[in-house]
Structure 1
Amino acid sequence: MENKNKVIKKIGIIAVAAAVIFFTGMNVIATDKKVETKKTETVNSYKENIVIASKADAKTLDPQRTIDTTSNKTIRLIFNGLLSLDKDLNVQPCLAESWEAVDDTNTIFHLKKGVKFHNGDTMTAEDVKFSIDRARVSNQTSYLFKPITEVTVIDENTVKITTEKPFGPLLTNLAQTQGCIVSKRAVQEVGEENFFQHPVGTGQYKFKEWIPGDRIIVEAFDDAFQGAPKVRQITMRTITEVSNRMIALETGEADIAFDIGIMDKEAVKKNKDMEFLEVASPSSLYLGFDQTTPEYQNKKLRQAIAYAVDTKVLAEAVFRGSAIAADSPLPKACPAHITPAKQYDQDIEKAKQLMAEAGYKDGLNIELWVNDDGPRTDMCVIMQEQLKAIGINAEIKIFEWGAYVSRTAQPNKQLYLLSWNSTSDGDAALYALFHSSQQGLSGNRSFYKNEKLDEVLDKARYSVNQEERTKLYQEAQEILQEDIPHYTLVYPMLNVAIRKNVKNMIFRNDGYIDVENMYVINEK
């Protein structure tokens, strides 16, 4: 207990600027918090141009090339999918107005008629087929759509999707960012490799300008099938420092700011001009062990590191009530979550014993990789200190976010800190991270392979029986917690802060915002 208090005290200053900041995840889901509308505003009082502050720049604006939530936040302004998810996680119509299952492996989708792309073209079944076929083969998105074997155009407004086996998460996956529908003609005109800079979708906002590292600007698309938006232009500003995002919000330079620092939380709540929104999420932050790096092939070393790390200290010192210590690789927000039998409550003596059994009685020098993010680097400083207690000297290496995403997708790397944001379905939360077919960019960055786990995840993926799927995901958690290809540290809360003149914005449990009916009142 004395050591824990000492660590918390030591890290207190470091954690002052900590924010709940998370990336790499993908997917749209969960409960929402909505800023209520008052009926006293007039049309001419609306603010036409707003700024949303984000901690990092997008890597891509192509929905079939995305793997991180920062990119997804802008992509979702520009594109729509066949389906969407409501606040209760139910699948809802979007570009598809209805659908029916012909049998266990064939589903027919009826498209909304007259939907326009930003280039003026009318969306047809050919665009839908083209988009889903792209998603099936993309390295970044195939984990969601690989079971789809064929997309058949029945007529201009009807498509049939065929899967190799009954595919439980089909509808949920089609509602994700990676399932958004792109303009076939636009992709062919600019080329597959250039579309990420020239996106054309059906969303309420069309792409205008991208100044890398600084801002992305989208403008209103008045022919959107949802109706013309009241906000005429949205600028996604990259403001990497959490304190600067807070300043931008306070001064009115920004109207909405993602990932406000934990120490700024109370300040936002006390400010009559601002509002703080925070939600539990189906996401996790983890310590990854690359199985292609010889020392991390040793399970006893992996377990020793886990026993040396006190996740409760991480949750308390860095997140201060905005995260909880993890007990499973599947987040608590997922219905199939259990607390596996194997747990790694901090036990230094046990960790030292495992170090000796692993062949590292005299200690070990390693690198601990992290991206340039305040809370994550704070976590690494804490873990660096904790690992010293078992003879591990960890040198912290900090990378820019874009470079980090690319580096961690490669084999032969050191210990690394990363997060995963998913839907509440176990398939999205576990398949990409741990199935051997997903090694590298798709999500399995530890390059883990376990035939038994593959079998369990495949059975769950190809079942439409929810009770059976839940039991299989519970079995998967037991396997993973024992084998520990990565060590799940905390389950975060996600946050966004807004100025109170922002109306009808929905903040969902996946950390995304829904702006379809949003408007902003001019401040006097």
Structure 2
Amino acid sequence: MGSPGRSHRRLPQAPDRKTSIQEAALLPISRRQALALGGAALLAGSAGDARAASPQGQLTWAVHVSLAPTWFDPAETPGMITPFMLLYALHDAMVKPMPGQTAAPCLADAWKMAPDGLSYEFTVRKDVTFHNGEPVTAEDVKFSFERYRGTSASVMKERVAAVETPDARTVRFVLKKPWPDFLTFYSSATGAGWIVPKKYIQQVGEEGFKKAPIGAGPYKFVSFTPGVELVFEAFEGYWRKLPSVKRLVLKVIPEESTRLAALKRGEVDIAYSIRGELAEELQRTPGFTLKPVVIQGTFWLYFPEQWDPKSPWHDLRVREAAALAMDYKSINEALTLGYSRVANSIIPDSFEFFWKPPPAVYDPRQAKALLAAAGFRNGFDAGDYYCDASYANLAEAVLNNLQEVGIRVKLRPLERAAFFSAYAEKKLKNIIQAASGAFGNAATRLDAFVMKGGTYAYGHYDDLEALFAEQAVELDQKKRTELLHKIQRLVHERVIYAPIWQLAFINGQGKRVRESALGLIEGHAYSAPYEDVTINTG
């Protein structure tokens, strides 16, 4: 089954969608999991489709960030969406988000949860192989989980008592106690369920794997030139469907106007992240398509020194002033043509257990009054403002708003991989402009960014820890929702974060693209699944 239930059934090749949903309603699962069950037929049936003609042609993406070899390895997946740009091509997961499904059966063609909630058992799909021809086995699944060291690794491993492999196609995760979020963490919020070849990694070593990665995804690694481009080639043995496009090229073009120029000249076929006046220019250009995708990528300001009594950020009024200083509507209209959502939360509004906060307010006069009440009538020097360099234009807009009310900062943009590395290692101070587009639900996002031990949490509150621990083992959906809503409300009231927006990721599509796969997976920022990408031959 595609969701935990009372009994185990292998997914049939083409179950009736209506029947699946009716059956799911009888099981103790969430609404999202029920929808995943209903959509599972679409994916399961596709594996049996007749093979199409051999892959042909090449499509090229202009990528807005410098690609990092660490993103070739699922074991190092951080709490952001960027690595999944590569993972969806090179690798495959036991269960992962797919079109119309939040948890689709992939390398696992079936799974079940034990009646007592203390174990999950997965069946590896028959006759699937890695790019080197070796079969994907239960031992690879176990190895991939135990090797995982990315975001929320400690959370998962603390709750898993053992990983058992009774035979070559069966993997059983034994939990220390019932954990309703196991499948969410394993299938989408982390990289722990993305499978790598044990034998190959043992042969070439950790660094060797990054230099020449092998996966089980729809595309094989061909070459990587740091700062220039990454090349993939279709894997004709991919289980789900034969890719249509022979070669994919991800070309690194950090400068936005250069990406647009390359798209208009036909040097690239899809350009990521085209914003503001450039997006308007693209809209006016015949033959090109603007592709805005509202993603689960929330952006915010974080004040890592708010737990230090000596810091101005320790004062709630100062954090409130920063939130009131931002002109959300104007920034949205200027940079993303009004497509982004000002959801006023670090939790995407599409996530399960989302609590809807009060609307964001822009009030610079009140911001100045709060600063004065906090002892900063003339404002204060707030030090460095760190951000991912690919969103420096957003940072510049916010920085101007902050300085208008007296919060004086210096912009410090960092290349994306370096930024998130420093962020996770707790090296950044003063103000951090950050974001996450990672899959999951409200609990997984809180775990990484709010709770003690979270990859990007610089401090914690004991009462929130107690509430989070309580919800983590609560099997009653209504009670769990109430607990997670309370945590989000307290995060909002304490202004642990000052949310900016839920990003509309605006991309440009050229004439040669028939299907870009942008927006096929709900909330996902990039083209995926890549095997669904097609070239316009007309």
**TM-score, normalised relative to structure 1:** 0.83
| Cα shift at 1:357 | 4.1
Q: CA deviation at 1:365?
A: 0.8
What is the rounded CA distance, in whole Å, between the counterparts of 2:443 and 2:535 in structure 1? Answer: 37
**1:452 CA drift (Å):** 1.6
On the 8 A contact 1:370/1:377 being kept in 2, the answer is yes
Question: In the aligned structure 2, how far is the partner of 1:333 from the partner of 1:231?
Answer: 31
User: Which amino acid is the alignment partner of residue 436 of structure 2?
Assistant: W
Q: Deviations over 1:473-519 (max 9, x none)?
A: 21111100111122111111123332344334432322132122333
Residue matched to 2:140 = 127
Partner of 1:34: none
Q: Is 2:442 the partner of 1:426? A: yes
Matched, 1:308 2:325: yes
1:67-466 paired onto structure 2 within 5 Å: 67=78, 68-103=80-115, 104-135=117-148, 137-138=149-150, 141-143=153-155, 146-176=158-188, 178=191, 179-269=193-283, 271-291=285-305, 294-295=310-311, 296-340=313-357, 345-366=361-382, 367-373=384-390, 376-409=391-424, 410-411=426-427, 413-423=429-439, 425-438=441-454, 442-444=455-457, 447-466=458-477
Amino acid at match of 2:218: Q
Alpha-carbon offset, residue 85 of structure 1: 2.5
Give, in angstroms, the shift of residue 96 of structure 1. 0.7
Larger RCO (alpha carbons 8 Å, 6+ apart): 1
Structure 2 SS opposite 1:469: helix
Does the aligned pair in 2 maintain the 1:329–1:480 contact within 8 Å? no
Query: Whole-Å Cα distance in 1 between the matches of residues 253 and 511 of structure 2?
Result: 21
Q: CA 1:212 to 1:249, structure 2 compared with 1: closer, same or farther past 3 Å?
A: same
Q: Which amino acid aligns with 1:426?
A: A
1:413 Cα shift? Answer: 1.2
Letter in 2 for 1:187: I
Secondary structure of the 1:333 match is coil
1:24 alignment partner in structure 2: none
8 Å Cα contact 2:120/2:174 also seen in 1 = yes
Deviations 1:262-311 (A, max 9, x none): 43445444555333322222221101101366423333322222223332
Distance 2:497 2:334 in 1: 22
Change (3 A) 1:459 1:397: same
TM-score, scaled relative to structure 2? 0.81
Contact 2:323 2:499 survives alignment (8 Å): no
Contact 2:152 2:448 in 1 (8 A): no
1:319 shift after superposition: 2.5
Q: What secondary structure does 2:87 align onto?
A: helix
Give the match for residue 65 of structure 1.
Answer: 76
Letter in structure 2 aligned against 1:212:
P
Q: Secondary structure at the match of 1:282?
A: strand
Give unmatched runs, 5+ long, in structure 1: 1-28, 32-41
Distance in 1 between residues matched to 2:516 and 2:394, nearest whole Å = 32
Give percent identity, aligned residues only: 25
Query: How far off is 1:371 after superposition?
Result: 2.8
Hey, what's the Cα distance between the residues in 2 that align with 1:222 and 1:73?
Answer: 20
Q: Aligned partners of 1:265 and 1:128: how far apart in 2?
A: 43
For 1:38, the equivalent position in structure 2 comes to none
In the TM superposition, what is the alpha-carbon distance from 1:124 to its structure 2 partner? 0.8
Q: Which amino acid aligns with 1:154?
A: P
CA distance in 2, matches of 1:266, 1:511: 20
Deviation of 1:165 after TM superposition, in Å, equals 2.6
Name the Cα RMSD after superposition.
Answer: 2.7
User: Over residues 12-58 of structure 1, what are the superposed CA-to-partner deviations in whole Å (9 max), with x where a residue is unaligned?
Assistant: xxxxxxxxxxxxxxxxx999xxxxxxxxxx959x7422211110122
Equivalent residues, number: 475
Aligned AA (2:332): A
